[in-house]
Structure 1
Amino acid sequence: MVKRRRFLTGAATTLGLGSLCMSSRMSFGEEASLSLPKNVRPSNEMLSSQPFTPARWAFVSDPITGTELLSKNADEHMPPSSLTKMMTAYIVFLFLSADRISLSQTFTVSEAAWHMGGSRMFVPVGKQITVSDLLQGALVQSGNDACVVLAEGIAGSEARFAELMNEEAARLGMTGSHFVNATGWPMTGHYMTARDIATLATALLRDFPQYYHFFGEKVFTYNHIRQENRNSLVLKGIADGLKTGHTDAGGYGLCASAQRGGQRILVVANGLPSMSSRASEGERLMEWGFVNFEQRRILTKGQVVVPAVPVWMGKKDTVSLVASRDVVATVSRNTHHISENVVYSSPLKAPLRAGTEIGTLELKVPGKPMEKIPLLVSQDVEPLGAASKIWRRVSNYGK
């Protein structure tokens, strides 16, 4: 027989799931206190659930738990401008991690790269430049010329490099993006979505932590030309990395991420009217994320979820079911409840082996799809011997 059991937990940060009763909610207990920088006070706007943003496209998330916190036109195609260079960097990092190129390897500056307009690293035609310097030129100085040198050095041509970008975007699930070049230079058929930019930033953080520092460098000097990082949130120490961009069609945009304690917030905003509005709105959305949301540990691997499931014909009358993995969620600081449901069969029949999947815990965290966590038998339960089985049947006869 299948049992569907709902339970209510006591107040704790790491929840104790020992108490079962008929309830559709999981209680988190007392509200956590805010932990803000000394110079930040939570305003009513900061504490709002969905703040207004002047950005035409926006997306805010916790990349560690994958929780969406804010979305505005996040699935619309938009001109990504130099935010494209995050994907260029992702391809370069792939080749570096596979030892197909090295940071000290040099690529030659072509005429096509030297002629690139827009923001530049100012590389001389015919010059041999290391991959490390080109990455800094592309990500700190936003150099279009540096991106073309990288693309040609890796793939032979920028067009072939764009094919690699599209292949990798598809693998990452960036369904709303298509690349024509490595720079973000405005061209027909070149677009991204705010959600896809967040997906890409999350992949960069997850897959290449050893190279993430390139996004957070504040200054780079090449050919006696000193240029600061164009991401003002990085310069001010508010964010630890990622990218900005601007085109006439797409306006001013940024992707920025920061970590405080164990929590990380990721902000994407594009379609803003000026550099100053890009900076102020990026900072405001970042603070809004940290003020309004926190990570909470819902379950710890091995934690008892169902304390006593009846066992048929076993040397133990009951056995507990435990969580198969840790569960950490990003929730609003005003959220105290998570919908849950436990599904398992009862009674269980001996023999049982520890670690066998028996049931499922269904969790619905606000802002996330339902999660299903397998529940495991906590310990071995041996079957009764033949004589004990007969005695058990006799003693149960007529009950």
Structure 2
Amino acid sequence: MTPNLRISRLLPSVVATAILVCSVGAASGKPHSKPHAAAHKSKPAAESTEPAMTTDANGQSVPVLANKAWVLMDFNTGQVIASSNPDEPLPPASLTKMMTSYLVEQGLKSGKLKPNDPVTMSQSAWCRGGKDGDSCMFVPLNAQASLMDMLRGVVIDSGNDASKALAEHIGGSEAGFVVMMNAEAAKLGMTRTHFENSAGLPHPNHKASARDLAVLAQAIIRNSAEYYPIYAEHEFTYNGIKQGNRNALLYTDPTVDGLKTGHTEEAGYCLTASAKRNGMRLISVIMNANSAQARADQTRVLFNWGYANFEEATPVQAGTTLATAKVQYGVAPDVAAGAAQALTLMIPKGQGAAVKTSVSLNPGLEAPVAKGAVIGKLVVTANGKQLGEAPVVALAGVERAGFFLRLRQRISGWFSK
């Protein structure tokens, strides 16, 4: 885990390259009607060309992508490396299902849910044969499927029916489950997100930001590690119907292992993806691209650009003394100050030597001081630009001195002024 690091907007933090595709449906707002035996094919990574570039508000050169919003995040630090319009709430379509699957996975992890729990396909959740354009798992009306099959129906098939059935199974009703979804979003810090349903069907108040969806992808990869491999599975067969994962990059880039696609007329084509190369994982979110091919191509551009231009650096190790803070009225006159945990962040490649750290300490520090108490701030810069900051803590405790020692210190202080 990393310290409580706040990354500046110059280099926002991203977690594992995760492809989030908004896949809910066509103009009617419902998923595609026909099951897909294979995902859309896209050009292999070797064919990709250099992207057009522009300069963002922080003076950073970033790719130009034809969509409404995108984010590239480093999984380990949560630092957003680069972004465009990352905080605007937009229709997320089936990227919504990442929260549905995450809650199922956390229920399995806690033991509240069991893999073989039977989940009933109710009248309200049932897909009517896909005639209305739904993305479906195609569980028959009133039939039961195991919870793990339903989970695959959500992640791989993008089934609205599986999403609603699981929501009713866990929350008592879809409305009850939506309360759980929004509570978990708040817990994860998804401040620009509000859910109205479990599948991502269009609703005026159903919105999420690209940054929030990257945070959710990071949580899935980190907290649902046992179940994360499902997001890389190419196909799933249920009730005799085989459907292919719509994340096209799973078929063309072996470093990509998740996460989710989505589409409605309002949301456009969306993709949240994750890739891991040479031990570094990035997460990408594309929202409102104009085609399934475009969302895959744009995600590939972000991954190739991110891996080619950024690397992790650890300018501060845990427990290293960065400064000495004076302590009034303590049994010791000062205390060592440093970082409680190693500080890791993403920097442009080749700029390691330019990374500088500075420490500012809180004035008027008085004993007692507990070990680990925040007593200042660490700021990291490179070439005069701030990359991030983290708390500085006391590396030892300092007890309050007795009455006579405090009196002596006070008197000494009078004469030293």
After alignment, is 186-195 or 274-283 more displaced? 186-195
Contact 1:102 1:131 in 2 (8 A): yes
1:370 aligned to which of 379, 389, 393: 389
Query: Which residue, 206, 221, 236 being the options, matches 1:190?
Result: 206
In 1, the alpha carbon distance for the partners of 2:226 and 2:77 equals: 20
Of the candidates 287, 312, 315, which is equivalent to residue 304 of structure 2?
Answer: 287
Which residue is 1:144 aligned to?
Answer: 160
Amino acid corresponding to residue 241 of structure 2 in structure 1: I
Which amino acid letter does the alignment assign opposite residue 201 of structure 1?
A
Distance 1:38 1:132, change over 3 A: closer
TM-score for both structures, normalised by structure 2: 0.72
Give the AA of the match of 2:102.
Y
Change (3 A) 1:209 1:310: same
How far does the alpha carbon of each residue in 1:241-276 deviate from its partner, in whole angstroms, 9 at most, with x for none?
A: 110100001110000111223322111011111111
The one-letter code matched in structure 1 to 2:107 is: F
Alignment match, 1:337: 355
Change (3 A) 1:146 1:284: same
Aligned positions of 1:122-141 closer than 5 A:
122-141=138-157
Shift of 1:278: 1.0
Pair 173,300 (structure 1): closer, same or farther in 2 beyond 3 Å: same
In the other structure, the counterpart of 1:107 is 119
Query: Secondary structure of 1:370's partner?
Result: strand
- Judge conservation of contact 1:352–1:377 (CA < 8 Å) in 2: no
Could you tell me which residue of structure 1 aligns to residue 314 of structure 2?
297
**Aligned partners of 1:46 and 1:291 also within 8 Å:** no
Maintained 8 Å contact 1:96/1:103: yes
- In structure 1, what is the Cα distance between the partners aligned to 2:192 and 2:362? 39
Out of 140-149 and 354-363, give the one that drifted further.
354-363
Output the CA distance in 2 between the equivalents of 1:166 and 1:358: 31
Q: Which amino acid is 1:140 matched to?
A: I
Structure with higher Rg: it is: 1
CA distance in 2, matches of 1:352, 1:190: 49
Deviations 1:335-362 (A, max 9, x none): 322452253789x99x999957695451
Quick one: which of 83, 102, 114 aligns to 1:90? 102
Q: Does 1:153 align with 2:166?
A: no
Q: Describe the shift of the 1:379–1:293 C-alpha distance in structure 2 as closer, same or farther (beyond 3 A).
A: farther
**Equivalents in 2 of 1:186, 1:339: separation in Å?**
47
Per the alignment, residue 33 of structure 1 pairs with: none
The percent identity for this pair of structures is: 35
Q: What is the CA–CA distance in structure 2 between the aligned matches of 1:165 and 1:305, rounded to whole Å?
A: 42
In the comparison of the two structures, how many residue pairs are matched? 347
Task: Tell me how far 1:239 sits from its aligned partner.
Answer: 1.4
The answer to whether the Cα contact below 8 Å between 1:107 and 1:129 also exists between their aligned partners in 2 is yes
Distance 1:40 1:310, change over 3 A: farther
Q: Secondary structure at the match of 1:196?
A: helix
Shift, 1:40, TM fit: 8.9
Distance 2:386 2:243 in 1: 40
Note the C-alpha offset of 1:41: 9.5
* TM-score, scaled to structure 1: 0.75
Map 1:212-291 onto structure 2 (within 5 A): 212-236=228-252, 237-291=254-308
Question: CA RMSD for the aligned pairs?
Answer: 3.7
> Which residue identity lines up with residue 193 of structure 1 in the other structure?
S
Query: What is the DSSP-based 3-state SS (H/G/I as helix, E as strand, rest coil) of the residue aligned with 1:145?
Result: helix
Alignment-mate amino acid for residue 144 of structure 1: N
Residues 158, 317 of structure 1: alpha-carbon distance in 2 compared, 3 angstrom cutoff: closer
Deviation, 1:94, is 2.6
- Aligned counterpart, 2:69: 57
